Amino acid sequence: MKNNKLKLTLNIILFFAFVFGCSQTKPILSTETSNIINTFYGDALEYKESYGLLKDLTKNVGQRLSGSLGAENAVLWSKTIMENYGFDNVYLQEVMVPHWERGDLEECFFYSNSKRVDLKILGAGGTISTAKEGVTAEVVEVSSLEDVEKLGKKTISGKIVFYNKGFNPRYINQGASYGQTGFQRRLGAIKAAEYGAVASVFRSLSSIEDDVPHTGGMSYSNKFDSIPHGALGVLSSIKLSEELKKNPKTKITVKLSGKWFPDALSHNVIGEIIGSVNPKNIITVGGHLDSWDVGEGAHDDGAGCVHAIGALRLFQQQKIKPKNTLRAVMFMNEENGLRGGVEYAAVAKKLNEIHIAAIESDASAYVPRGFGFSGNEKQLNKIQGWLGYFNKNTISYFSKGGGGADIGPLHRSFGTPVFGLSVDGQKYFEMHHTQKDVFELINARELELGTASIASLIYLIDTYDL
Ligand SMILES: [Zn+2]
């Protein structure tokens, strides 16, 4: 009898230890939710609708830099696609965007033992033109903005500043290298002009040694002259650096052309599936519709746009009525102004909209790995419990920090919790902002895994709240 009682007590303790232990390490998953999420992945991989959309966008619309005809065609394209899908509400949100166009003249060369050596150059997005004959001057090679300050006006004045800081190959995350070298493109012209340079060039923000230059956003300051600013291919940068070691007096000629126009009227494109329980609560999912004027903007960020439309489409295909309103937003002008993202948050404020979460996909169409998250600790702990719904070969983490440029203003004005899709980005900076970013580089299955991962995250937020 005594023994039996002891056994019973022990069993009870073990039972509770088991239950408690389980709830600590493995949250209980709902079979219904698992089935819905598995079906998102299955449908995405089988029907490949995002892939079809991306092919259409890249091949029939193509380049779509803000203010261009391509951008306006992309606005009409996304509106038509979402209308044809029968989303509840499809509309345009007006936004004035900067308008810059590249010209035909892009050349860079020097003479070595009276032999002309050509370098690959591509104007940074927003550069002014040189005169037709270009700018010819001696070169000062630097690897930071501080280098320019240290060398001072005496050395820099009248010269061409050459920023030559490469990616750090030791980093697993090449985005960190991009972050550390981005100053050359974004701020290089301002600093060089402050110290009297007549032009500036920089090593492309690239993870590989090829000679395809990468463009991207740059700035000028009212305080200093605007000077031509261009990206050199990585091999061209190495070539120029070697020449400067042999002959520090080497002069290069830079020819660039680009023209600014008055701001143009453009639009964010919005498609909604109205919530069945809390229609006023909004979950935004977006990518940016504009691209650079080289390549087709397939990875950057056509992929993000079709991820967003495709995610809502997956809800439609399973006939899921979300509790909250789901909004696919094609943001305009992420690349050179962020006007679309700023306007979206401003309108949300004006209309007193309730944004419960926002998700951005602007990291390419490669295999999804996780989501970066900016919200509070409690929310982060809660979403960690959702990882069990994902196949580990797709989403395996929710990491602290992250979101996206376009949803940043929403996060800053409302404290909206924001997510950014993270992918296997090893190849991204081989073609980011170059002529190589075309549809042919897209793998249908990888792209579709992204769409399904985003649809799954939206479903979890909509069903279980943050
Ligand atoms: Zn982008």
What global pTM score does this model have?
A: 0.92
What pLDDT, on the 0 to 100 scale, is given for residue 21? 47
User: Does 80 fall in a domain?
Assistant: yes
Q: Are residues 132 and 218 in the same domain?
A: yes
Q: Report the separation in Å between the CA atom of 335 and the middle of ligand 1, taken as the mean of its atom positions.
A: 6
Strand partners, 370: 397, 422
What pLDDT, on the 0 to 100 scale, is given for residue 235? 98
Q: Report the separation in Å between the CA atom of 361 and the middle of ligand 1, taken as the mean of its atom positions.
A: 9
What pLDDT, on the 0 to 100 scale, is given for residue 365? 98
What pLDDT, on the 0 to 100 scale, is given for residue 24? 47
Query: Cβ distance 65 to 100 under 8 Å?
Result: yes
Q: Report the separation in Å between the CA atom of 175 and the middle of ligand 1, taken as the mean of its atom positions.
A: 12
What pLDDT, on the 0 to 100 scale, is given for residue 98? 98
Report CA-CA distances (Å) from 326 to 59, 300, 366, 396: 28, 23, 24, 24
User: Does 14 fall in a domain?
Assistant: no
Q: Are residues 134 and 97 in the same domain?
A: no
Q: Report the separation in Å between the CA atom of 300 and the middle of ligand 1, taken as the mean of its atom positions.
A: 5
Q: How far is Cα 284 from Cα 43, in angstroms, rounded to an integer? A: 22
Instruction: Among 238, 256, 274, identify where a domain stops.
Output: 256
User: Does 144 fall in a domain?
Assistant: yes
Q: Are residues 330 and 243 in the same domain?
A: no
The tokens describing 200, both together, are 């500036």
Closest CA to 120 of 200, 246, 183, 214: 214
Strand partners, 258: 102
Q: Are residues 287 and 391 in the same domain?
A: yes
Instruction: Among 256, 271, 295, identify where a domain stops.
Output: 256
Q: Are residues 248 and 277 in the same domain?
A: no
Q: Are residues 302 and 434 in the same domain?
A: yes
For the annotated catalytic residues, the residue numbers are: 334
* pLDDT tens figures, 389-438: 999 999 999 999 999 999 999 999 999 999 999 999 999 999 999 999 99
Q: How far is Cα 160 from Cα 196, in angstroms, rounded to an integer? A: 9
Q: Report the separation in Å between the CA atom of 182 and the middle of ligand 1, taken as the mean of its atom positions.
A: 14
Domain extent, residue 323, equals 29-101+262-464
Question: Where residue 367 sits, what CATH number does that domain have?
Answer: 3.40.630.10
Q: Are residues 454 and 367 in the same domain?
A: yes
User: Does 297 fall in a domain?
Assistant: yes
Give me the number of domains the chain comprises. Answer: 2
Instruction: Among 221, 238, 256, identify where a domain stops.
Output: 256
User: Does 5 fall in a domain?
Assistant: no
Ion ligand 1: residue ranges with CB closer than 5 A: 300-301, 362
* pLDDT tens figures, 14-68: 555 544 444 445 678 999 999 999 999 999 999 999 999 999 999 999 999 999 9
Q: Report the separation in Å between the CA atom of 116 and the middle of ligand 1, taken as the mean of its atom positions.
A: 36
- Averaged over successive runs of 10 residues, the pLDDT of the chain (466 residues) comes to 54 52 64 98 98 98 98 98 98 98 98 96 98 98 98 98 97 95 98 98 98 98 98 98 98 98 98 98 98 98 98 98 98 98 98 98 98 98 97 97 97 97 96 98 98 98 97
Q: Are residues 214 and 343 in the same domain?
A: no
Q: Are residues 274 and 195 in the same domain?
A: no
Q: Are residues 300 and 279 in the same domain?
A: yes
Q: Are residues 95 and 170 in the same domain?
A: no
Q: Are residues 90 and 120 in the same domain?
A: no
User: Does 445 fall in a domain?
Assistant: yes
Question: Where residue 208 sits, what CATH number does that domain have?
Answer: 3.50.30.30
User: Does 411 fall in a domain?
Assistant: yes
What pLDDT, on the 0 to 100 scale, is given for residue 1? 46
